[in-house]
Amino acid sequence: MASSSLFNHALFLLSILSTSYIAHAGDPDILSDFIIPENSTTPIDGNFFTFTGMRGLLANSTNPPNFKVTKATMAEFPALNGQSVSMAFLQFPAGGVNPPHTHPRSAELLFLVEGCMEVGFVDTANKLYTQTLQVGDMFVFPKGLVHYQYNADVSEQATAISAFGSANAGAVSTPVTLFATGIDDAILAKSFKTDVATIQKIKAGLAVKP
């Protein structure tokens, strides 16, 4: 095979790879204006495109005693299916934390609407990026990277709204994934260069739901 032909084959393979990468880089494109749920019996009108599940949250200005996230993804709001967008309402009490986690299918654009907030994420080179946000600030957590949000204020609550570029961004909690899914103690002890007793202590702490 001539080298120019080999070069063309390589280019062709590269183009296939890059095309399939793009196809999986976000939600799939749909071939209709919107997607009506299968077997839907209610008529599709403005109500289908309206989500009212956050009304109660905004009517009550006191955040719950533990960090709480209220989602509007395609599970709660079916009209988002195929639209590549979703949102979440994040409520932090004084001192509340949203533990390290990732969203496998989307970046997160956080908009702080009340209080102040410590945020951070870690890139694939293990570099940590942090910031202290004030009301009105936005922070973007790149897609798939481990990140956290923390209200360091001991007396004031904090509230944020997050937007996602996926109708189903997904959330993988780092502590839960590692210590609350039944991964063998010995494997975790070796992985974290510690002993089984320490792993069991961490597991016990996570088992207690606040």
Ligand X SMILES: *[C@@H]1O[C@H](CO)[C@@H](O)[C@H](O)[C@H]1NC(C)=O
Per the annotation, binding residues for oxalate are 98, 103, 108
Nearer residue to ligand X within complex by CB, 62 or 134: 62
Q: Which residues pair with 89 in a beta bridge?
A: 70, 161
The verdict on 39 binding ligand X (CB under 6 A) reads: yes
Strand partners, 173: 101
Query: Smallest distance from the beta carbon of 152 to ligand X, in angstroms?
Result: 20
Residue number, 32 or 134, with CB nearest to ligand X: 32
Rule CB under 6 A: choose which of 38, 52, 125, 154 binds ligand X.
Answer: 38
Provide φ and ψ at 17, rounded to 5°: -60, -45
102's tokens: 């990732």
Residue closer to ligand X (CB basis): 3 or 62: 62
Dihedral of the CA atoms 15, 145, 90, 205 (nearest 10)?
140
What does the chain come to in residues? 210
Instruction: Tell me which H or E stretch contains 98.
Output: strand 97-102
Scan residues 44-63 and list those touching ligand X (CB under 6 A): 60, 62
Binding residues for Mn(2+), by number, are 101, 103, 108, 147
Which of 6, 19, 64, 205 lies at the binding interface for ligand X (CB under 6 A)?
A: 64
Q: For ligand X, which is the closer residue by CB, 67 or 121?
A: 67
Cβ contact 53:70 at 8 Å = yes
Residues lying near ligand X in the complex (CB under 6 A) are found at: 38-39, 60, 62, 64
